[in-house]
Each structure stands twice: as structure tokens, then as C-alpha cells.
Structure 1
């Protein structure tokens, strides 16, 4: 009798363990249908733009969904204008005392931990600072290709963005960079893509990393044309800073099991740029002159070599070029989007299979 009771208890315990395992498998399978993607570095925009365009073309955005974009767009534009004024150009300018005060108002609005509300004073400061004749002169005489597409788009839209009845249009939403760590999810056939934007975090980014250790993929973007740019006036070189940050991400214990997609945007590299601003002046070990292909390969090797966990981490690198698109099922995809979607889908299949066997 005692043996029978003991056997029944063992069977119940085994079934309980089996049920728990099955629940875990089902949970992981469901999770396998959602890819949590962490955006770092300075790129990765195009894949987010792709999903926003797709949503706008089909379901669209409700007024409730649009409201956070409005705030983010205004803050993006303030940051773009401030960054533009911080960087030296062939025509340096001196702001009037009034314009300097407007600049300080914008800087205060952008301070970490500031109120979520955007003051009417800071919106007026954005409008008036942009229309300062000295700022306009600096904008006209800026270095060719010194502003990325997003920055140029929003700076040229300041009058519309600062209007009292401003409502973001489709392009405003598409090109918006999430402010702080806002995330977006886009359901597609078979997989939900959820983006966590860590590119705008201020201060010490390392303290945020434990919050992102559940990510499935990291997309780290780099603009190769930034090799001769600085983060701010008299500040560190942008490319050196990207290399330092990428090395930290690659070798962080928080991101150890996570694959990294390295997107290297070489569309801004040209023989003219490499001749007028020699890469060797900034990276003394470069020896290939104005050869764009060699410059791209140089940076690819430099970034990938920073990974000290080659046996336990995959890094997928891809060059991003302007107008590099393909048509699939009547939809235009950039090579960047196709590459990223393929890597993500393959990684998510691998995650699910690990729990199936």
C-alpha cells in the first residue's frame, strides 16, 4: 500500500514538473514571436522608418499615438539645432546676447530629468534662434554633407514645427528619433518587432545596460563619414567615441549572449571628402588614400576586432549605402532592412528551437 501511494506521489510530482516545462516551452515559443531589438550607436533608423511607413500605409496612427511623437519631434529639433551650433564650420559665428539666451533656454529644456512638458518659451526660443541672421548664415555656409538627413529635414521644418497648431505629418513621424527610452512594437506576419531606443540616453549609459539585458538583438549603427567630426566644440572625435562605446557594448557581461548587427553607413564617404579631409589625419595607421572601399573595409575590421568574445558572440556587419533598394512582393526594401530582418528571423528561430529539443 505504501509503495502504491509513493508511486502515485512520484507520478504527480513528475507530471507537475512536465507541466511546468511545457509552460516554459510555450512561453518561450510565444516570446520567440517577438524580437526585442535594442538600438545603439548613431544608426539603425532605416529599419524603424520602414515599419513606421508600413503602419502608416495600413492601420495608421491614432491621435493618442501621435501625441508622444509631437513632443519627441520638438525635442529632436531642439537637439539638432543645438548640435549644429556646437560644431565648428568654415564660417564661425558669434551669437547676439539675445540669441545666446535663446540657446540657453533650449539647453535647459534638453537637460536630463527636466519636466515632460515643453514650455512655450522654449518653442519660441527654437523659432527665434533659427531665424537669427548669423545662424542662417552658418547654415547656408555649412560644410557639404555635414548634416544627416534627419537633421536637415527637421531644421528646414522649424517654422511648421513651432506653429501653435502643429500636428506631426507622416514624414515627421517616420523620421522621428525616440526620445530617451521610448519603445515601439510593430506586428508583422509571424513576428512582432519591438524596438528599444537607447541612443538618446544621457550621462552614463552603462548604468542602463542591466535594463536591456533581455534584448534579443542589438543594432549598432555607425556613420563612417563622421571620422572627421567631433561630438561638440573641442570635444572628442565622433568615430573614436563610437569605437570606444562599441567595445564596451561588445564585451559587457550584460550583453554577453546577445548577437550584434553592426550597420556601417558609408554613403557619406566619397573620394572628394577623403581627399579634402584625409582619413590618415585622424587615424594614422590608414594608408589607402581616397579609396572609399578601402576606407570602409578599414573601419569594418577596426570595429569587429574589438569583440573579445568571438567564440560566444556573433557580430553581423553590413554596409549601408544610399538608394540601395530591392522590391519584394511589390514593396521597396533597403538592403539594410532586408539584412536586419533576415538576421533577426534566423536568431529568433534558433531561440525557439533551443526550447523544442
Structure 2
């Protein structure tokens, strides 16, 4: 009896040891990536590209369908309220006067149907709404995807509608939600964790810049991360993005108006190098920084590399402009570049930990 009990206890102990060893091996192959960024970050686009690369589950497709319907309803509610506030609803033809009431009765969590779709499409094409958007472009906020979805409204309202890849990429991210996406890269499993925009943290410091532009905001946030005591053993992958919009803007508006110390004129390469210098000046902690370039909007990723050899966390930080070798956010090549940068940084950190490379700040 005693011997049998002892054998069972030993077998149980060995099973636990094997499980612990297996968990340890698995953790060494898993790289958790924490995504953080401003309200206009492209991190949601990155996550959607990752999901598209590995394939969307039926549950994820259903979630995107609901999110698209909610985006359409929320956007048209904003248009109706702006129409009523501006008094332009008086321009509506007699047969269209009922449309604002019909649309405002639709709740955000309602699914689109043919009746709602007809009301939205009809209102969207009225001269009153056209004038509203033309005359109040800076005051009426519409998500970038709203116009795209309005033009597809009849298709979106079909009972059998399934989001396309383009629909998925244009779907705004849900705010104040935490999402997790897994992706395999060689022998590594990367776990992307998106915690949403830093709105709650940003309110603590945004008052410092009453007329804060997005680049100033990016610089301030980058400084708060790179010099944080929580990331003392962190490597940074720095991405500059949105070169097309940036290049067009500095041709119309002198960069020196907002950054007086800049003297490079409308040259996008000189401007990009200037902002790289600005970001590097914030690196008082002297962390390793690896510059990379893509189209996107500001964001950064935290990579806590938790395995033994890869004990140095990595931050992937993406800002608003880019250098010459570029790709677009709506292109899976963007995701592959991100993975390549992550992989390269892991190798660099492993070599440093093995004393093969000297620690070096670029």
C-alpha cells in the first residue's frame, strides 16, 4: 500500500516536472508583443494584416461585419446631428424630410438591413449633405473609412454579406478594448497584444501642448517610453512613416513654421533625417535603436523577450514620416518588414547577450 502510494506520488511529480519543462521550452519560443500608440496609430492595421495573413475565423469575420455596421451607423448619426445643428436640414426636399428621424432611431448595435441602407444612401446623396461636408470639412468628423462604406451600403446590408479583405483593413479599431493575435514566424510564436489608444495616459500630459501637433505628440510619447525606468534593458525599432502625406504637406506648409531649428526646406530626405535626429535626442537612456521605414501612422510595440537568451525587451516605435525605401500600410509587405525587423533585433540581442556583439547605440 505504502509502496504503491509512493510510486503514484513519484509519477505525479515526474509528470509535473515534464509539464514545467515543456512550458519552459514553449515560453522560450514565444515572444509577447505589446502594442501601444496614439489615437491615430496604424497598429490596428498591422494587427488586421496579421489576421489576414493567417486567415480569419468565422467568429472574426462576424465581428468585423458587426464593427462595419456600427461604423456606418455611427458615422451617419454624426452627419444627421451636424445637419440639424447647422440648419441645413431645411434644404432637404419634402420627400426626404423624414430621413433624419428614421436614421436617428437606428441603434448602434442594430444590423443594417435594406430599409436602413436605402435611407442612408438617399440622405448621403442629398445636396444638403454634400453642402454640409463641403462647407464644414474641418468641423464634421467622419472616419476615413466612412465614405468607402457609404458607397458600398447596399452590399453591406445584404443578409449574406461577408467582409472582404479591403473591408477588414478599412474597419476602424474598437477603442478601450484589449485584443490578442498570435502569429508564427519560423520557430517563434509571436503574440501581439493591442491595448488600445493611450487616451487615459495622454490626458495627463497633453495639456502641456495647447496647439500640439502629432509629431510633437509622438516625440513626447517616445521620450516618455524610451527613458522610462521600466524599459532600462530595451532595444528600440524606430519606424518613420506616411512619407506621401508628409512630402505633400511640407511642399505647401514650411516645416520651419513648426520646427524653427529645421533648415532643410521642402526636401523630404532632409526632413526625415532631421526628425530621426529629434527622436535620437530623446534617447537619454542610451538604449539601442534600430531605424526602419514603412508607411503608417505613429505607433510603437513593446516586445518583452522573456526567454533566457532573449531577455532584452524590444520596442517597435512607428512615427509619422519615412525615408526613401518605403511600402504601404495596406500591403502585406509592411507586415513582413515588421517581422523582419523583429527577427533582426532578436538576433542582435542574442549576439549581445552572448558577448559576440558589443552593445551599441545607433
TM-score of the alignment, normalized to the shorter chain, above 0.5: yes
Change (3 A) 1:206 1:28: farther
CA RMSD of aligned residues (A): 5.0
Residue in structure 1 matched with residue 59 of structure 2 by the alignment: 64
Contact 1:36 1:194 in 2 (8 A): yes
CA contact (8 A) 1:288 1:294 kept: yes
Question: 1:48 aligned to 2:47?
Answer: yes
1:189 to 177, 180, 186: 186
Instruction: Give the corresponding residue for 2:213.
Output: 237
Distance in 1, matches of 2:220 and 2:267, equals: 25
| Distance of aligned partners of 1:293 and 1:156 in 2 relative to their CA distance in 1, 3 Å threshold | same
Count of paired positions: 278
**Gap change, CA 1:186 and 1:271, over 3 Å in 2:** closer
Residue equivalent to 2:317: none
Shift of 1:352: 11
Question: 3-state SS of the aligned residue for 2:243?
Answer: coil
Shift of 1:278: 1.1
Look up the match of 2:315.
Answer: none
Corresponding residue SS for 2:283: coil
Deviations 1:180-201 (A, max 9, x none): 3212112343222222223435
DSSP 3-state at the match of 1:236: coil
Q: 1:276 to 1:53 in 2, by over 3 A?
A: same
Change (3 A) 1:270 1:83: farther
Query: Structure 2 CA distance, aligned partners of 1:82 and 1:348?
Result: 47
Q: In 1, Cα distance between the equivalents of 2:79 and 2:352?
A: 48
Q: CA deviation at 1:265?
A: 0.8
Q: Distance in 1 between matches of 2:346 and 2:127?
A: 53
Alpha-carbon distance in structure 2 between the residues aligned to 1:84 and 1:296 = 37
Which residue matches 2:360? none
- Residue 345 of structure 1: which of 343, 346, 362 is its match? 343
Q: In structure 2, what is the Cα distance between the partners aligned to 1:263 and 1:193? A: 19
Shift of 1:35: 2.1
Matched, 1:157 2:149: yes
> Is the radius of gyration larger for structure 1 or structure 2?
2
| Alpha-carbon distance between aligned partners in 2 of 1:321 and 1:269, rounded to the nearest angstrom | 10
- Asked if the contact 2:293/2:326 (under 8 Å) is kept, the reply is no
Alignment of 1:64-83 (within 5 A): 64-74=59-69
Q: Structure 1, residues 243-295: CA drift from partner, whole Å, max 9, x if none?
A: 11221122223343343322211422565532311111111111111101011
Q: Quick one: which of 247, 250, 273 aligns to 2:226?
A: 250
